[in-house]
Amino acid sequence: MIGPFRLQRRQRGFTLIEMIIVCAIISILLGVMVPIYRIHVLHANEAVLKEDLYNMRQAIDQYTQDKGKAPQALDDIVSAGYLHAIPKDPFTHATDSWQTVQEDVLTSIDQTQPGISDVKSGSSLVSSEGTAYNTW
């Protein structure tokens, strides 16, 4: 017959050494994965910024060609239906941080009024390529 002491001995859990080894392995894996994850998030945000800038510049050009005048504000593009909404800058997390480039030069013969000719990010951070986001 097996005594109660013998049953308790077989039902014991993990030892302290085993738990320390598991924690060490998990922390090593996290130490390797967190920087890689941050790099992927940065590249994804840069891709979103490039796409948003491309779409807004296309909308500015289409607005200027269709209306015969450049937009005076980014809200003009949205109210005219060229963009659904002004996108959030992925680095400033705001829709009002976009830096617009106003020019007094008319880009076509039919254009009657100068205005916004370009848009840039309002972020002062530096990209993974080594250039500032506000120069893109």
Amino acid at 43: H
d(CA 122, CA 135) in angstroms, rounded, equals 9
- Please write the tens of the pLDDT for every residue from 19-51: 999 999 999 999 999 999 999 999 999 999 999
d(CA 40, CA 8) in angstroms, rounded, equals 49
pTM: 0.79
Q: Is the pLDDT of residue 3 over 60?
A: no
At 132 the pLDDT is 96
d(CA 95, CA 90) in angstroms, rounded, equals 9
d(CA 72, CA 63) in angstroms, rounded, equals 11
Amino acid at 135: T
At 103 the pLDDT is 84
What are the CA-CA distances from residue 83 to residues 26, 36, 51, 79 (Å)?
46, 34, 13, 8
